[in-house]
């Protein structure tokens, strides 16, 4: 059952960690009052973009029900994830939400054949009744990603390329016919010449298999290529959210502008803006504990009010921006 | 399986040596079943005769042929070691795997138990038990008792390995493939744990035999049954060294060395082979 | 006058384990030159041989790696070094850090995790000179890192207290202590955030501009080369596919592999379909015959399967190894 036709509804979610020792028992707010949603009837690719320390990894673990939010709710198909406790309910959830991990060579045990995991998935989630049936299901899933059971059968991870393993990983996640795939930096460890394979595959999955994908990355170029909407994360906040063309072509938030400018690109025009000198902050750690906007220390347009309290979310053109510039 | 043995034999000198030693041990154990002399009897042959073609290791002061007596000794010592290793492996694996994978309070509880066993002073306890249970003590009971004390270090080792494995991405993949915790431990983690288990098994056999020898020399095990330790006990009792019956001491010592070396060499060569990292190098990872 | 001359270098990994012997032909006939005052980019993906090439030219050859044939010759002003035959002591005292220095990915191999940063500086200096006056030394080091935009507190910190970007910048400061003629940067920014990456790369450019030395920048990220390198060399399966000035590589690449690498770069502002390259990266223990790229090449001809294409000079400073090009100029 889905409420309001929403596949995923993240409502004011906050995740806090207690850190003892080094920081003298303080609070690390990894995810801070985040809200966004995805529709059931329109499969889409939604990108969570951010650098290290932005909270995107914590958020992805939250969405996979790996941890619970300190405040707020995550609703999947109308059901609050925090109410999923029993093993059967968890299994039902896992059928519908599947991950793809970053490092292809760690995704599968080096001592097991990769197809073993696919068979496991098919049998454990009741998609196949026995091994023979599972072979059929597995082959089907592999063909969806441009491989086949013959090619992959009895192979160990080291016998395949990074790109191939990622495709197998995606195939595995498709076996239970999920509604949502969480891909955490799926191409950052894959060679450039093989990257497009995976990224094109995501587009195909959205269009043909009607699977929604949350694509987590720090690479804005592939995000532009593949996603429909994008959320830019900074230190636990979403500072800008909207359709990817608007956010990346006409960035409103100063941080998004900085990110976009810092992406090295081969076109002559962009090379000049990249070469503009920047000051690298020494305050990367200190930024976290600050009051007010987390970008205040580096923002070229910073005002007094920025340092006092968190900026509100404002609708600017097509996107939502968390910045005092637009109030 | 046979390919493994064939490869090891062909390319690893240690394995060849181990095979040689352990074949000698196996032959001795098999021979014990066809021994012409009953080890429990005394004065079946002439006493204190030095090694000769008729009595390869000579005879002892009790009128026993040392060689044939040693075949029984080898058999009993070895089997006792195997019992200890088997039972303590089971305990170590169960404790290590469950503590490592489950974590939380179960981990803390199991590790407290483990640590308690680690700090127990083993020799005095065994001496005490040996003394108290003297009447019913035999190799099997001794093997079993040793097993109850031989698992803690290895349980911790296994637990550490599982702790690392738990954090690796493929464990998460298995979770999202719908596999339950039990099967994850068996299918994903156990293959990495096996080299440790194998290494500790052989180590354990040697450790058990060592303890048995110690206890027997002190007269605290079943002295009527032949074992490497009791051989030395009786040799001592009869003042073998003083009396010049050196072959009575040499034989069990030699037996112990051959057994220990054989097992050790087997351990290191097989361990190298089945270590996941070597295996990966082998298959070109 | 070339700073570095590499000629027909072949370096293989030879392993023998339990009767299985494998030879991985990681570098198979590489010839190129580095000149003073340039940033030379080395591009290629995993298993193209670039890491092995770096190891050989920096004198880090350890079994199972073995140099089979070829030469690696340096000319630091009047000081000539034959890297393949130089004695270890000479290498340690006179070449490392003084003429050739390194910046590695993650800076892990440089910063000692259990000692403060200043100690690492001391260690490196002491392998070459004795520190007679500690205060003077400290002043010089502080001035050096301040010039590079690093705060003085960095020296009294432990590596784990610094962020990834900061550690890399410290590694660069270490690498430039003695003003070496050649700085080898091996994937220096791969694990870093894009803003930090920009800062680190700008720092490398500034240093090169100020001291007019040579930087060999190794990375698989073509966009980085576009913004930093003067010349770029593309390696594939242990051989050079193409080498040209940066403008040429990006605007008029000749080798099909280079064309694909450039063409498949996603860019902000473009969502048109980009095709993937078919096939898989080659297995260097059993590489394809002839031109190693032929199984994946959209223009493969019969000759590509049988004959290795020569690396020919097609225009000034532009070399390509492809049968298509030979055909054209024939």
Average pLDDT over residues C237-258: 92
Residues 6+ apart with CB under 8 A from A314: A320, A321, A322, A323, A326, A327
Q: Band the pLDDT of B135: cuts 50, 70, 90.
A: confident
Phi, psi of A267 (to 5 degrees): -70, 140
Average pLDDT over residues C68-95: 88
Provide, as residue numbers in chain C, all residues whose Cβ is less than 8 Å from the Cβ of A200: 273-276
Provide, as residue numbers in chain B, all residues whose Cβ is less than 8 Å from the Cβ of C22: 284
> What is the enclosing helix (H) or strand (E) of A100?
strand A97-100
How far away is chain B from the Cα of A241, in angstroms, using its nearest Cα?
29
How far away is chain A from the Cα of C268, in angstroms, using its nearest Cα?
5
pLDDT at A99 over 90: yes
pLDDT at B143 over 70: yes
pTM, whole model, 2 decimals?
0.82
Lookup: tokens for C9: 């270098």
Average pLDDT over residues B86-102: 88
Residues 45-84, chain C, touching A (beta carbon < 8 A): 45-46
Lookup: tokens for B281: 């190098």
Angle between helices B228-237 and B246-274 (to 10 degrees): 160
More confidently predicted of C16 and B255: B255
Q: Is C17 on the interface with B (CB under 8 A)?
A: yes
What percent of chain B is predicted at pLDDT more than 90? 8
Can you give the pLDDT at residue B245?
83
Q: Band the pLDDT of A282: cuts 50, 70, 90.
A: low
Residue C249 in contact with residue A246, Cβ under 8 Å?
Answer: no
pLDDT at A24 over 80: no
pLDDT at B75 over 50: yes
Q: Which of C27, C51, C53, C37 is nearest to C2 (CA)?
A: C37
How far away is chain C from the Cα of B21, in angstroms, using its nearest Cα?
22
pLDDT tens string C283-321:
888 888 899 999 989 898 898 999 899 898 988 889 999
- Closest residue to A99, CB basis, from B176, B279, B284: B176
Mean pLDDT score across all residues of chain C = 87
Q: Is B167 on the interface with A (CB under 8 A)?
A: no
Kindly determine whether residue A110 and residue B280, on different chains, have CB atoms separated by under 8 Å.
Answer: yes
Q: Is C27 exposed, middle or buried (0-12, 13-18, 19+ CB in 10 A)?
A: buried
Kindly determine whether residue A224 and residue C266, on different chains, have CB atoms separated by under 8 Å.
Answer: yes
pLDDT at C21 over 60: yes
Can you give the pLDDT at residue A302?
86
Can you give the pLDDT at residue A20?
64
Residue of A97, A109, A172, A173 for testing the chain B interface, max B β-carbons within 10 Å: A109
Q: Band the pLDDT of B285: cuts 50, 70, 90.
A: very low
Whole-angstrom Cα distance, residue A142 to residue A235? 38
Average pLDDT over residues C160-176: 84
Query: Can you give the residue range of the structural domain that contains B90?
Result: 2-282
Can you give the pLDDT at residue C208?
92
Can you give the pLDDT at residue A288?
58
Total number of domains constituting chain B: 1
Q: Band the pLDDT of B284: cuts 50, 70, 90.
A: very low
pLDDT at A124 over 60: yes
Can you give the pLDDT at residue A190?
82
Can you give the pLDDT at residue B41?
79
Lowest mean pLDDT among A12-26, A67-81, A150-164, A268-282: A268-282
Kindly determine whether residue C198 and residue A278, on different chains, have CB atoms separated by under 8 Å.
Answer: yes
Can you give the pLDDT at residue B283?
47
Mean pLDDT score across all residues of chain B = 84
Average pLDDT over residues A160-173: 90
pLDDT tens string A39-73:
988 899 999 998 877 888 899 999 999 889 999 99
Whole-angstrom Cα distance, residue A170 to residue A166? 6
What percent of chain B is predicted at pLDDT more than 70? 95
Taking CB atoms and an 8 Å cut-off, how many pairs form between chains A and B?
63
pLDDT at C233 over 90: yes
How far away is chain A from the Cα of B184, in angstroms, using its nearest Cα?
11
pLDDT at B193 over 70: yes
- Beta bridge mates, C28: C10
Q: What is the DSSP string of A272-321?
A: HHHHS--PPPS-TTHHHH-SS-TTTTT-TT--GGGGTSPPPEEEETTEEE
Q: Band the pLDDT of A137: cuts 50, 70, 90.
A: very high
Kindly determine whether residue B281 and residue C285, on different chains, have CB atoms separated by under 8 Å.
Answer: no
Can you give the pLDDT at residue B270?
78
Can you give the pLDDT at residue C160?
81
Provide, as residue numbers in chain A, all residues whose Cβ is less than 8 Å from the Cβ of B174: 117, 120
How far away is chain C from the Cα of A299, in angstroms, using its nearest Cα?
13
Can you give the pLDDT at residue B276?
61
Q: Is C285 on the interface with B (CB under 8 A)?
A: yes
Q: Is C267 on the interface with A (CB under 8 A)?
A: yes
Q: Band the pLDDT of A74: cuts 50, 70, 90.
A: very high
Provide, as residue numbers in chain B, all residues whose Cβ is less than 8 Å from the Cβ of A169: 173
Average pLDDT over residues B183-205: 85
What percent of chain A is predicted at pLDDT more than 90? 47
Q: Is A152 on the interface with C (CB under 8 A)?
A: no
How far away is chain C from the Cα of B174, in angstroms, using its nearest Cα?
26
Provide, as residue numbers in chain C, all residues whose Cβ is less than 8 Å from the Cβ of B10: 18-19
pLDDT at A1 over 50: no
Average pLDDT over residues A204-222: 91
Residue C156 in contact with residue C189, Cβ under 8 Å?
Answer: no
Kindly determine whether residue B188 and residue A112, on different chains, have CB atoms separated by under 8 Å.
Answer: yes
For B52-79, give one letter per residue: b (16+ CB within 10 A) or e. Answer: eeebebbbbbbbbbbbbbbbbbbbbbbe
Can you give the pLDDT at residue A283?
47
Kindly determine whether residue A124 and residue B177, on different chains, have CB atoms separated by under 8 Å.
Answer: yes
Residues 127-186, chain C, touching A (beta carbon < 8 A): 149, 151, 163-166, 169
pLDDT at C129 over 80: no
Residue of C18, C24, C47, C287 for testing the chain B interface, max B β-carbons within 10 Å: C18
pLDDT at A227 over 90: yes
First to last CA, chain A: 38
- Closest residue to A107, CB basis, from B170, B188, B285: B170
pLDDT at B179 over 80: yes
Strand bridging mode A6-19 / A71-76 = antiparallel
CATH of residue B246's domain is 1.10.3720.10
> What is the enclosing helix (H) or strand (E) of B111?
helix B104-119
Provide, as residue numbers in chain A, all residues whose Cβ is less than 8 Å from the Cβ of B173: 101, 107-108, 117, 169, 172
Lookup: tokens for A195: 């990257």
How far away is chain C from the Cα of A259, in angstroms, using its nearest Cα?
6
Can you give the pLDDT at residue C199?
86
Kindly determine whether residue B169 and residue A111, on different chains, have CB atoms separated by under 8 Å.
Answer: no
pLDDT tens string B12-32:
788 888 889 999 989 988 888
Residues 101-130, chain B, touching A (beta carbon < 8 A): none
pLDDT at C144 over 60: yes
Average pLDDT over residues B180-184: 88
Whole-angstrom Cα distance, residue A61 to residue A57? 6
Average pLDDT over residues A286-307: 79
Q: Is C21 on the interface with B (CB under 8 A)?
A: no
Provide, as residue numbers in chain A, all residues whose Cβ is less than 8 Å from the Cβ of B170: 106-109, 112
Angle between helices B246-274 and B2-11 (to 10 degrees): 110
């Amino acid at each position: 059952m889905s409420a309001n036709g929403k596949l995923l509804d993240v409502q004011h979610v906050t995740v806090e960690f207690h850190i003892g020792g080094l920081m003298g028992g303080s609070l690390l707010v990894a995810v801070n009052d985040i809200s966004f949603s995805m529709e059931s009837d329109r499969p889409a690719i939604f990108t969570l973009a951010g650098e290290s320390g932005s909270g995107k990894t914590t958020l992805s673990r939250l969405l996979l029900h790996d941890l619970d939010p300190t405040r707020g709710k995550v609703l999947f198909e109308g059901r609050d994830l925090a109410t999923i406790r029993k093993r059967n309910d968890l299994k039902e959830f896992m059928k519908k939400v599947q991950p793809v991990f970053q490092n292809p060579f760690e995704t599968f045990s080096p001592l097991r054949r990769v197809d073993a995991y696919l068979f496991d998935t098919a049998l454990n989630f009741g998609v196949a009744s026995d091994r023979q049936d599972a072979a059929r299901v597995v082959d089907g899933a592999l063909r969806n990603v441009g491989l086949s059971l013959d090619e992959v059968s009895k192979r160990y991870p080291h016998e395949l390329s990074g790109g191939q393993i990622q495709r197998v990983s995606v195939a595995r996640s498709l076996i239970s016919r999920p509604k949502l795939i969480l891909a955490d930096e799926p191409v950052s460890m894959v060679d450039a010449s093989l990257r497009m394979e995976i990224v094109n595959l995501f587009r195909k999955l959205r269009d043909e298999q009607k699977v929604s994908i949350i694509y987590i990355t720090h690479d804005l170029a592939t995000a532009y290529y593949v996603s429909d909407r994008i959320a830019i994360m900074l230190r636990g906040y979403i500072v800008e959210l909207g359709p990817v063309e608007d956010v990346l072509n006409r960035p409103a938030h100063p941080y998004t502008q900085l990110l976009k400018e810092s992406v090295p690109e081969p076109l002559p025009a962009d090379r000049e803006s990249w070469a503009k000198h920047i000051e690298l902050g020494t305050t990367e750690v200190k930024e976290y504990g600050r009051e007010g906007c987390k970008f205040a220390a580096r923002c070229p347009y910073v005002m007094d009010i920025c340092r006092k309290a968190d900026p509100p979310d404002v609708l600017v053109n097509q996107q939502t921006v968390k910045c005092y510039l637009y109030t | 399986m046979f390919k493994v043995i064939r490869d090891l034999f062909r390319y690893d000198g240690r394995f060849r040596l181990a095979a040689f030693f352990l074949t000698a041990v196996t032959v001795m154990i098999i021979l014990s079943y066809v021994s012409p002399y009953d080890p429990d009897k005394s004065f079946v042959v002439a006493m204190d005769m030095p090694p000769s073609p008729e009595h390869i290791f000579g005879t002892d002061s009790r009128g026993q042929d040392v060689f044939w007596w040693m075949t029984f000794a080898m058999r009993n010592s070895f089997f006792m070691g195997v019992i200890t290793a088997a039972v303590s492996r089971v305990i170590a694996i169960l404790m290590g795997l469950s503590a490592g994978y489950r974590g939380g309070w179960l981990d803390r509880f199991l590790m407290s138990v483990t640590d308690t066993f680690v700090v127990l002073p083993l020799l005095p306890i065994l001496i005490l038990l040996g003394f108290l249970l003297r009447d019913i003590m035999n190799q099997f009971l001794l093997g079993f008792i040793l097993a109850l004390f031989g698992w803690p270090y290895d349980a911790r080792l296994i637990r550490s390995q599982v702790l690392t494995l738990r954090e690796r991405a493929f464990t998460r993949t298995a979770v999202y493939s719908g596999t339950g915790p039990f099967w994850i431990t068996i299918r994903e983690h156990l293959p990495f744990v096996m080299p440790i288990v194998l290494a500790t098994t052989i180590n354990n056999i040697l450790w058990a035999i060592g303890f048995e020898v110690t206890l027997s020399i002190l007269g605290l095990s079943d002295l009527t049954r032949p074992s490497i330790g009791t051989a030395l006990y009786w040799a001592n009792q009869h003042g073998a060294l003083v009396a010049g019956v050196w072959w009575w001491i040499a034989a069990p010592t030699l037996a112990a060395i051959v057994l220990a070396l054989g097992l050790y060499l087997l351990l290191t060569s097989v361990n190298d082979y089945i270590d996941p990292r070597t295996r990966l190098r082998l298959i070109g990872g | 006058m070339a700073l570095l001359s590499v000629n027909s270098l072949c370096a293989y990994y030879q392993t023998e384990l339990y009767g299985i012997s494998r030879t991985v032909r990681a570098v198979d006939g590489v010839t190129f030159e580095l000149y003073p005052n340039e940033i030379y980019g080395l591009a290629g993906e995993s298993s193209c041989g670039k890491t092995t090439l770096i190891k050989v030219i920096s004198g880090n050859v350890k079994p199972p790696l073995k140099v089979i044939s070829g030469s690696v010759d340096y000319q630091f002003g009047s000081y000539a070094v034959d890297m393949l035959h130089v004695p270890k002591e000479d290498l340690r005292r006179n070449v490392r850090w003084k003429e050739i220095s390194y910046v590695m990915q993650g800076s892990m191999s440089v910063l000692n995790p259990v000692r403060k940063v200043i100690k690492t500086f001391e260690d490196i200096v002491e392998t070459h000179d004795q520190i007679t006056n500690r205060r003077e030394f400290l002043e010089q080091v502080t001035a050096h890192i301040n010039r590079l935009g690093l705060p003085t507190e960095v020296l009294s910190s432990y590596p784990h207290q610094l962020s990834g970007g900061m550690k890399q910048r410290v590694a660069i400061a270490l690498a430039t202590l003695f003003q070496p003629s050649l700085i080898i940067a091996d994937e220096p920014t791969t694990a870093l955030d894009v803003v930090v990456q920009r800062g680190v790369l700008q720092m490398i450019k500034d240093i090169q501009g100020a001291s007019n030395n040579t930087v060999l920048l190794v990375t698989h990220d073509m966009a980085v080369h576009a913004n930093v390198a003067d010349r770029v060399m593309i390696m594939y399966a242990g051989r050079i596919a193409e080498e040209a000035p940066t403008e040429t590589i990006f605007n008029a690449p000749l080798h099909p592999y280079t064309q694909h690498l450039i063409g498949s770069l996603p860019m902000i502002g473009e969502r048109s379909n980009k095709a993937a390259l078919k096939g898989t990266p080659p297995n260097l223990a059993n590489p394809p015959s002839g031109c190693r790229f032929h199984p994946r090449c959209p223009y493969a001809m019969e000759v590509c399967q049988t004959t290795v294409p020569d690396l020919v000079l097609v225009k000034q400073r532009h070399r390509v190894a492809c049968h298509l090009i030979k055909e054209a100029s024939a």
